[in-house]
Amino acid sequence: MVKKEYHSGVVAVVGPPNAGKSTLLNRYLEQKIAIVTPLPQTTRNRILGIVTGEDYQIIMLDTPGLHKARELLNKEMVRIARETLDEADIVLFLVDAAALAGKKLEKRRDEYSGYLKSIHCPAVLVLNKVDLLEKDQLLPIIDWYSSLHPFTAVVPVSALKGEGTDILLAELVSRLPVGPQYYPDDIPTDSTERFIVAELIREKVFLRTHQEIPYSTAVIIDSFKEEKDARLVIIHATILVERGSQKGIIIGKQGKMLGNIRKAATKDIATLLGCKIQLKLWVKVKKNWTGNAQFLREIGM
């Protein structure tokens, strides 16, 4: 019997904020490694996921959404996304097709062409959220994007429901170069447990607060202690905000908001680590951290 060739390489998932990039990564990993919220600019770092099959290994890089950045934090996010373009064997340019359906696309011509010009490897246009639209609404979107960039393939998917994701996977595997298995079979990411835990707490803040508060929030893990038999992990974390008024909102009346954040985060962290969790949260003000280059480096940006 002839052994199938092994394919491997780096696939960067880039595109506008809120398009479903992190949802797609989690779908392929069959677990929550990247946080997902209905708000744009949720992902702030490059998240590496390892999708391993019998004859392939895809190193998939989830990235922050591309947007016009003013604050240093946002500029760093866009820089991180741009840099993955240089590392990739294949780029998935992933867009929210439902948000574009029925819209006049001509006016948006310049929004992403700068980014698309920096792609120097095969790029697949992924039209996400097809569960929310009729298939015939896709044609104008495909035409428009095809006029912006010579995509090597176009694949409609629903990252949320899993529609079309097998077709996309097969497309990627067939286009990746023949190469070795870089990581062991059972490793889904290179993110540390501490990082994912901090992200899960940040996700709960994003899901429960409004306006500028999510964007003024960062989470630091102060300590992470496994009890000897590893059946309990005790985690202390601090939620940083930029102003005193934001601190009050996150704590809430009689601590109710913080209690809800803690409860929801505990549940997800327990699923991630597969054991009991004791989570303690503090809220502190760190003025203008979103503009503080040294602090951004400390949180891994």
The residue assigned the tokens 């891994």 is 300
Long-range CB contacts (< 8 A, 24+ apart) of 30-34? 31/188, 31/272, 32/200, 32/268, 32/271, 32/272, 33/188, 33/189, 33/191, 33/196, 34/62, 34/199
CA–CA separation, 1 and 226 (whole Å): 48
Sheet with strand 276-285: strands edge to edge: 218-226, 232-241, 276-285
Directed axis angle between helix 256-273 and helix 193-208, to 10°?
A: 140
In the bound state with ligand GTP, the residue whose beta carbon lies nearer, of 36 and 239, is 36
Contact pick of 37, 238, 260, 292 for ligand GTP (by CB under 6 A): 37
Nearest approach in angstroms of CB 248 to Mg ion is 28
CA–CA separation, 13 and 46 (whole Å): 10
Q: Does 84 bind Mg ion (CB under 5 A)?
A: no
Chain centre distance of CA 222 = 23
In the bound state with Mg ion, the residue whose beta carbon lies nearer, of 18 and 216, is 18
Q: Which does 18 bind (CB under 5 to 8 A by kind): Mg ion, ligand GTP, none?
A: ligand GTP
Q: Does 22 bind Mg ion (CB under 5 A)?
A: yes
Contact pick of 8, 33, 41, 289 for ligand GTP (by CB under 6 A): 41
Q: Which does 172 bind (CB under 5 to 8 A by kind): ligand GTP, Mg ion, none?
A: none
Nearest approach in angstroms of CB 243 to Mg ion is 25
DSSP strand pairing (90-96 vs 56-62): unpaired
Nearest approach in angstroms of CB 64 to ligand GTP is 6
Q: Does 68 bind ligand GTP (CB under 6 A)?
A: no
Nearest approach in angstroms of CB 171 to ligand GTP is 17
Q: Does 159 bind ligand GTP (CB under 6 A)?
A: yes
CA–CA separation, 95 and 100 (whole Å): 9
Nearest approach in angstroms of CB 225 to ligand GTP is 30
Q: Which does 142 bind (CB under 5 to 8 A by kind): Mg ion, ligand GTP, none?
A: none
Residue ranges of E strands in 2-160: 7-14, 47-52, 56-62, 90-96, 123-128, 153-156
Total residues at interface with ligand GTP (CB under 6 A): 23
Contact pick of 83, 111, 131, 226 for ligand GTP (by CB under 6 A): 131
CA–CA separation, 115 and 120 (whole Å): 11
CA–CA separation, 85 and 87 (whole Å): 6
Contact pick of 160, 196, 213, 218 for ligand GTP (by CB under 6 A): 160
Site string for Mg ion, 31-70 (x = CB under 5 A): -----------xx---------------------------
Q: Interface residues with Mg ion (CB under 5 A)?
A: 21-22, 42-43
Residues in contact with ligand GTP by the rule CB under 6 A: 17-23, 36-38, 40-43, 64-65, 128-129, 131-132, 158-160
